[in-house]
Structure 1
Amino acid sequence: MADIIWQTFSEQEKEEYIRFLKIFGSLSGLFKDNQEGNNAKKPYLYYRNHEQLYKRCFNVEDLTRKDSAFDALAHVGDKKVGVGLKTWIHTGDLSYQKVAEFNKLAPTEIRPLIDHATPEEVITKVSKLRNERIWLDKRLYNTLEGDDIYHYITRDDDVMNIIETKYDLVQEDSLKLISSNGKTFSFTDGLRNYKFYASKSVLLEEFDATKPNIITTVPIRQFDDPFELLRTIDFAEDKTIQKIEEVIYLPLYSDVSFTVEEHSGFNAWNGKPKTKGSLTPRPVFEAYATIPSWIHRLFPRFFVIDAFDKNEIKNSDGFNLHLPDGRIIQARCTQENGKSLQTNPQSILGKWILHDVLGLGAREVLTLKRLNDLGVDSLKITKIDNENFKIDLAETYAFEKWKIDLRSKLEELKKDNPRLRLPVFRDELFEAE
């Protein structure tokens, strides 16, 4: 099926999308030599421009900066649909394109299988890791009832072809190895063909751009001198003041031990009963996110904590947490010195993270391995205003990178607050990058 959600967009939306594709294509001469080579007549489209255009023209949420399996989240009726966006030069009707990379997991999860196991075990592992990441985002953005899609544009001689296809999970029970030389693993699941390149730890999927699958073909006129078009731009004075987003990160693990503690944080449900001597376990999914004290010191107005009283931080009033799937839950900073981000009851936050997003069952312990396998280990909190905050999952080491970026500010802060405990800076995690 070539037309999956394209038909749900209005004619005005589609016309605007096509109009801008023509504009981008007309400027191809700015980025390549139009006069030479086999691809001279094939227009240029930068993938970031494509992503921005899709967001502008259609009723979708931009996910491109969130390390998601999807690039956009479309609202189709009462359903949500994950959208993967791609563009490439049309050199053939069938083309392999990258759909996943496993750089962080390859040394521990894939390389040992390449060295010591069978090719079938390698493609099984790669397929499982691919599916786990898709399922993570299907749960996170609640696309479980929608048919996720790829929307892609292939660029042929003086045209751009618009195509949609289903964003399928790899059918793990139907895998068949086609060929392998220890470096490249070609396989199929009966629906799609795939290639895994061990040297770059990337998975490619074969996409079909044959004529029956093309929704529409957009004619492109490439200008020989695109600079003349740019001359027509009028630089009127722009007095708009752009708001800078306020963002912090919170780890899903212990910042001290660099592991997920078994009896606290997001495993608080596994802690000792609250009443001494009681045999009643804590509520299922009881959990909280730890806020290291230095965050409150460095960003004292982020959660609108009113004052410092005898070097102790007063807890904040409640606020709204906006989840990626559109739901809103109530939360607050609590415990001594505001060291905990919680909901009331605590199981609301825990159930969303542990069950709805990470896919854990009741009373299943969260581990660092589980987080690493899914490629996430932190929460990104974005301030909308004093009463509203967005919460998202952040990629592996996002919190660690953020700490390192703040190192100089934290060291300056410690000069004025000698008793402040600085976080552990784990530079060794990024030495090879």
Structure 2
Amino acid sequence: MFLTDQRKEQIGYYQEMLKTIGSLSRLFSESGEPYVEYRIAENLFCKSFDAKNLSRTDCSADASKGNLGIGIKTFLEKNGATMQKIAEFNSEHNLFSGLNTEQKIKKLSELRNKRLETTKRIFGLRNLIYHCVTRKKSAILVYETPMDSVDTERISGIEDRGNIVSFTDGINEYSFNIAKSTLYKRFHTKDTILNLPVKILDDPFEALEKMFRVAESAISFAPIREQQHVFLPLYSTKSGEKIMPEKSGLNQWNASGRPRDPNEVYIPIPAWIHEVHPNFFPNRDEAFVLVLPNGSEMSAKVCQDGSKALMSNPNSALGEWLLRSVLNLEEKELLTYRKLEEIGLDSVVIYKTESGKYNIDFTKIGSYEQFQDKDEVFDDGDEV
């Protein structure tokens, strides 16, 4: 059909976005089935696969790509054989209202077929399919099926139940609601292409709040480049738990002893970084240029015993950027790991460029551990 011929990265994006949208279902419903509003399904499909959005046009397809037209539907899976609306004929009501049941079904089928052919001609399409996003408890399923014309020569099994008339053409089962002038088709959804588990969030409002906090802090996670780099944690660990020390690291300004600038901080460099990547950083106290995500530059250096600290020169510049501009903390407000969790980051990546400058970018939670695992480093002690 369509989905299996698309690029792997497009399918991956589509899957993740469907799961994300489904996880927010509590915004709309208390049901155990994920909720995906039909306009969202249409827009997500077009964005994911670079398809043309036809949903606002009066035609039988919601999207097109190349010479293929796609009708996008979303509904509950239930028993896998439900009747779903495929066309309305309110404006054509006068064309069939005075006909007997058999004539009415024949006329409706002809009208349906004309719509499909007209859609093909207008948009230069060769084939039409349905792309169905169905939902069941804790899961979203995707399957595709042809958007068939009604075979008017093989219509049979006409059953008139008053307001509902059902029939088949040997390929599909249909029913027509006379009062609503609406045609339905039975969708058999057993041959699914995707079966995505969905964890519905108990409190989606909290998740949205965290997301907007990240947006407001103007933090973005750039793709990791194919360039010499290391990841550095913004936190420490104690007994396997991530913590923010109150008197070191990004809270260095709160250390005892001499008076300190409220912006004095450093980013910790674990000892194994120097062991596994011995020539990555310059020698201790040797200044280098650190380029921030917004393109501005500051002077930086590796300091302290064991070269365990990345600091700026002057040492307040890094804190002014990190604590004030990025994390939006007040002066002398302690940074906690909870704060990092709320905005979705807890590490940075440092790139070493050919020019001798170093670039810094934020990375999402878990990035440092993945980098550590990749280098097969095992640290039995707590980081300081």
Range class of TM-score, shorter chain: 0.5 to 0.7
- Correspondence 1:317-356 to 2 at 5 A: none
Partner of residue 81, structure 1: 68
Partner of residue 110, structure 1: 96
Partner of residue 131, structure 1: 113
* Residues 127 and 237 of structure 1, relative CA distance in 2, 3 Å threshold: farther
- Correspondence 1:18-57 to 2 at 5 A: 18-33=15-30, 40-57=31-48
Q: Please give the alpha-carbon distance, in whole angstroms, between the structure 1 residues aligned to 2:154 and 2:125.
A: 24
Q: Please give the alpha-carbon distance, in whole angstroms, between the structure 2 residues aligned to 1:157 and 1:111.
A: 41
Shift in Å, 1:177: 3.3
Shift in Å, 1:155: 0.3
Equivalent in 157, 163, 169 of residue 189 of structure 1: 169
**Letter of the 2:73 counterpart:** K
| Unmatched tracts of structure 1, length 5 or more | 34-39, 239-433
Q: Please give the alpha-carbon distance, in whole angstroms, between the structure 2 residues aligned to 1:237 and 1:174.
A: 63
* Residues 131 and 237 of structure 1, relative CA distance in 2, 3 Å threshold: farther
| Alignment partner of 1:5 is 2:2 | yes
- Give TM-score, length-normalised by structure 2: 0.55
| Alignment partner of 1:157 is 2:169 | no
Equivalent in 83, 94, 117 of residue 96 of structure 1: 83
- Correspondence 1:285-300 to 2 at 5 A: none
| Alignment partner of 1:167 is 2:139 | no
* Structure 1 residue runs of 4 or more that deviate by more than 6 Å after TM superposition: none
Partner of residue 309, structure 1: none
Partner of residue 254, structure 2: none
- Count of residues paired in the alignment: 216
Residue by residue over 1:69-98, the C-alpha shift from the partner in whole angstroms, topping out at 9 and shown as x without a partner, is 1000022xxxx1010000111211101000
Partner of residue 17, structure 1: 14
Q: Please give the alpha-carbon distance, in whole angstroms, between the structure 1 residues aligned to 2:108 and 2:178.
A: 10
Task: Indicate the structure (1 or 2) with the bigger Cα radius of gyration.
Answer: 2
Q: Please give the alpha-carbon distance, in whole angstroms, between the structure 2 residues aligned to 1:237 and 1:81.
A: 42
**Letter of the 1:132 counterpart:** K
| Alignment partner of 1:120 is 2:91 | no
**Letter of the 1:61 counterpart:** K
Q: Please give the alpha-carbon distance, in whole angstroms, between the structure 1 residues aligned to 2:168 and 2:217.
A: 56
* Residues 237 and 198 of structure 1, relative CA distance in 2, 3 Å threshold: farther
Shift in Å, 1:101: 0.3
Q: Please give the alpha-carbon distance, in whole angstroms, between the structure 2 residues aligned to 1:61 and 1:12.
A: 19
Q: Please give the alpha-carbon distance, in whole angstroms, between the structure 1 residues aligned to 2:102 and 2:70.
A: 30
Q: Please give the alpha-carbon distance, in whole angstroms, between the structure 2 residues aligned to 1:43 and 1:181.
A: 33
Equivalent in 37, 55, 71 of residue 64 of structure 1: 55
Shift in Å, 1:233: 2.5
* Residues 237 and 64 of structure 1, relative CA distance in 2, 3 Å threshold: farther
**Letter of the 1:175 counterpart:** I
Residue by residue over 1:80-124, the C-alpha shift from the partner in whole angstroms, topping out at 9 and shown as x without a partner, is 101000011121110100000011111x112111xxx2x111110
Shift in Å, 1:182: 3.6
Residue by residue over 1:347-391, the C-alpha shift from the partner in whole angstroms, topping out at 9 and shown as x without a partner, is xxxxxxxxxxxxxxxxxxxxxxxxxxxxxxxxxxxxxxxxxxxxx
Shift in Å, 1:5: 1.2
Q: Please give the alpha-carbon distance, in whole angstroms, between the structure 1 residues aligned to 2:158 and 2:90.
A: 24
SS of structure 2 residue aligned to 1:103: coil
- Correspondence 1:212-251 to 2 at 5 A: 213-234=191-212, 235-236=215-216
Identity of aligned residues (%): 33
**Letter of the 2:84 counterpart:** Q
8 Å contact kept, 1:177–1:185 = no
State the superposition RMSD in angstroms. Answer: 1.5
**Letter of the 1:96 counterpart:** M
8 Å contact kept, 1:47–1:87 = yes
Partner of residue 280, structure 2: none
Residue by residue over 1:13-64, the C-alpha shift from the partner in whole angstroms, topping out at 9 and shown as x without a partner, is 000000100110110011012xxxxxx3211111110001001000310000
Partner of residue 263, structure 1: none
Partner of residue 332, structure 1: none
Shift in Å, 1:184: 1.1
8 Å contact kept, 2:138–2:199 = yes
Shift in Å, 1:236: 4.5
Q: Please give the alpha-carbon distance, in whole angstroms, between the structure 2 residues aligned to 1:74 and 1:149.
A: 11
8 Å contact kept, 2:102–2:158 = no
Shift in Å, 1:142: 1.3
Q: Please give the alpha-carbon distance, in whole angstroms, between the structure 2 residues aligned to 1:233 and 1:215.
A: 31
Of stretches 149-158 and 169-178 in structure 1, the one that deviates more from structure 2 is: 169-178
- Give TM-score, length-normalised by structure 1: 0.49
Partner of residue 288, structure 1: none
**Letter of the 1:167 counterpart:** M
8 Å contact kept, 1:120–1:177 = no
